[in-house]
Amino acid sequence: MHDDRRLIEARLGRVLGERIVPAIYPESVPLRASIWVAPGEPVDVAEGLAAPRTPVESGARWGAPWGTSWLTVEGTVPPEWAGRTVEALIDLGFDQNMTGFQCEGLVYRADGTPVKGLHPRNQWVRIGSPVTGGEQVLLHVEAASNPIIPFFGPTALGDKLTAGGDPQYRLGRMDLAVFDEEVWQLVQDLEVLGELMHEMPEDPARRYDIVRAIERALDAIDLRDVNGTATAARACLTEVLAQPAIGSAHTISAVGHAHIDTAWLWPLRETVRKVARTTANMTALLADSPEFIFTMSQAAQYDFIKQYRPEVYAKVKQAVAEGRFVPAGGMWVESDTNMPGSEAMARQFVYGKRFFLDEFGVENQEAWLPDTFGFAAGLPQIIKAAGSKWLLTQKISWSQINQFPHHTFLWEGIDGSRIFTHFPPVDTYNCSMQGREIAHAARNFKEKGRASISLAPTGWGDGGGGTTREMVAKAARMKDLEGSPRVRWDTPADFFTRAEADYANPPVWVGELYLELHRATLTSQARTKQGNRRSEHLLREAELWAATAAVRGGFEYPSADLDRIWKTVLLHQFHDILPGSAIAWVYREAAQTYAAVATELVSIIDRAQRALGGDALGPNVFNSTPHTWRSIPAGAAGPAEATPPCSVTARTEGGFVLDNGLLRVEVDARGLVVSAFDLERRREALPPGATANLLQVHPDLPNSWDAWDVDLFYRNRVTDLVDADSVTAEPDSTSGAAVRVTRSFGTSTVEQTLTLRAGERALDIDTGVDWHETEKFLKLAFPLDIHADRYASETQFGHMFRPTHTNTSWEYAKFEACNHRFVHVAEPGWGVAVVNDSTYGHDVTRTVRDDGGTTTTLRVSLLRAPRFPDPETDHGAHRFRHALIVGASIGDAVREGYRINLTAPRTGFASAVAPLFRIDNPAVVTSAVKLADDGSGDVIVRVYEAHGDRTQALVSPGFDYTGVEFCDLLERPLAGESSETSHDDGIRLRLRPFQLLTLRFTRPGASPTHK
Q: Among 175, 371, 415, 490, which one carries the catalytic annotation?
A: 371
Which residue(s) pair with 885 in the sheet? 762, 833
Q: How far apart are CA 933 and CA 355, in angstroms?
A: 13
DSSP class of 504: S
Q: Are 910 and 620 in contact (CB under 8 A)?
A: yes
Buried b / exposed e over 62-76, threshold 16 CB at 10 Å, is bbbbbbbbbbbbebe
Say how far residue 150 (Cα) sits from the centre of its chain.
Answer: 23
Q: How far apart are CA 97 and CA 777, in angstroms?
A: 34
By C-alpha distance, which of 58, 23, 284, 33 is closest to 178? 23
Q: Reply yes or no on whether 371 is catalytic.
A: yes
Q: Under 8 Å CB-to-CB from 719, ≥6 apart: which residues?
A: 696, 697, 698, 745
Q: What is the DSSP string of 759-796?
A: TSSEEEEEEEEEE--SSEEEEEEEEE----SEEEEEET
What 3-state class would DSSP assign to 171?
coil
Q: Under 8 Å CB-to-CB from 950, ≥6 apart: which residues?
A: 990, 991, 992, 993
Angstrom CA distances, 656 to 399, 665, 727, 783, stand at 47, 8, 9, 20
Provide the pairing of β-strand 390-392 with 418-422: parallel
Say how far residue 1 (Cα) sits from the centre of its chain.
Answer: 57
Q: Are 783 and 832 in contact (CB under 8 A)?
A: no
Q: How far apart are CA 197 and CA 219, in angstroms?
A: 18
What 3-state class would DSSP assign to 578?
coil
Q: What is the DSSP string of 227-265?
A: HHHHHHHHHTTHHHHHPPPPTT--EEEEEE---B-SSSS
Say how far residue 801 (Cα) sits from the centre of its chain.
Answer: 23
What 3-state class would DSSP assign to 326?
strand
Which residue(s) pair with 638 in the sheet? 621
Count of beta carbons in the 10 Å neighbourhood of residue 358: 10
Q: Under 8 Å CB-to-CB from 576, ≥6 apart: which residues?
A: 261, 262, 263, 264, 582
Phi first, then psi, for residue 613 (nearest 5°) are -95, -10
Q: How far apart are CA 35 and CA 47, in angstroms?
A: 13
Helical spans, DSSP H, in 309-410: 310-321, 342-360, 379-385
Q: How far apart are CA 491 and CA 489, in angstroms?
A: 7
Q: What is the largest CA-CA distance in the chain?
A: 102
Q: How far apart are CA 891 and CA 799, in angstroms?
A: 11
Q: End-to-end CA distance of the chain, in Å?
A: 83
Q: Under 8 Å CB-to-CB from 560, ≥6 apart: which residues?
A: 1010, 1011
Helical spans, DSSP H, in 16-63: 45-50
Question: Which residues belong to the active site?
Answer: 371
